[in-house]
Amino acid sequence: FYYGRNPSERGTVLRYNYFENIPDVYNTSAIYHDDAACGLIVTGNIFNNAGKMVSLIGGGSDNVYVNNVFLNGKVAMRIGNRLQTWANWLLNEDGLFQKRLEEVNYQQPPYSIAYPSMVNYFDKVGEPTGNSVLGNLFVNMEEGLNGEEEWAGWKSDNIIVDKSIQVEYTENGGVSFSDKELIYQLIPELKSIPLDSIGLYGNKSLKRNK
């Protein structure tokens, strides 16, 4: 999932998806918030061997990750502050970000009512703010978070487990976990993920999941 270089793009919810087997030889990601992309809610997803940096937040703000499962990989989440370094040109007066925000009249209703934090967007001087990472489970990942906890809004209820837990396929094409009891014990809210219906759906030329 990719979006980026437009801070006015907000309000999308990415929920109940299954990402797996994304090669990690290059800088791959399951979710890439490119160039300060903001306002994405990621909840109830399963990431299994899903890229070199499963989630890459490229300097954006107000992104929320809650009750997701990250399994078997290198870096679960990477966050940086590129708007304060090599990408600060995006904040130039009359630059790209200003033009794109003005296209949606970001300081006027209805946009300013829906997204009040954006009214003073340029006062933040490019620092990632308002992100929140909470209630996620990280299993057999080499690194949970690469970057500043403050930028990510990393909360203490994220759980990191150094144990091999695999994704299994059910007879009807859904998914499950090799140790589902442990996962639900650690974060009971993960029971809301619809494992029987999550994942790839088949068509005439493609079978559902495996």
Cα distance between residue 83 and residue 78, in whole Å: 15
Residue 210 pLDDT class (50, 70, 90 cuts): low
| Confidence at residue 1, expressed as pLDDT on a 0 to 100 scale | 98
Structure confidence by residue, pLDDT tens digits, 47-67: 999 999 999 999 999 999 999
pLDDT at 124: 81
* Whether residue 202 has pLDDT greater than 80: no
**Under 8 Å between Cβ of 181 and 171:** no
pLDDT at 123 over 60: yes
- pLDDT at residue 173 in the model: 80
- For residue 209, pLDDT over 80 is answered with no
Is residue 137's pLDDT more than 70?
Answer: yes
Hey, how many other C-beta atoms are within 10 angstroms of the C-beta on 93?
6
Q: What is the mean pLDDT of residues 137-164?
A: 97
Q: How many residues does the chain have?
A: 210
Q: Which pLDDT score is estimated for 170? A: 86
Answer yes or no: are the C-beta atoms of 135 and 157 closer than 8 Å: yes
Looking at the predicted structure, is the pLDDT value of residue 203 above 80?
A: no
Is the pLDDT score of 208 beyond 70? no
Q: How confident is the model at residue 206 (pLDDT cuts 50, 70, 90)?
A: low
Report, as an integer, the average pLDDT of 127-136: 96
Average pLDDT of the segment spanning 122-142: 94
Least confident of 87-101, 105-119, 160-174, 191-205: 191-205
SS3 for 155?
coil
SS3 at position 204: coil
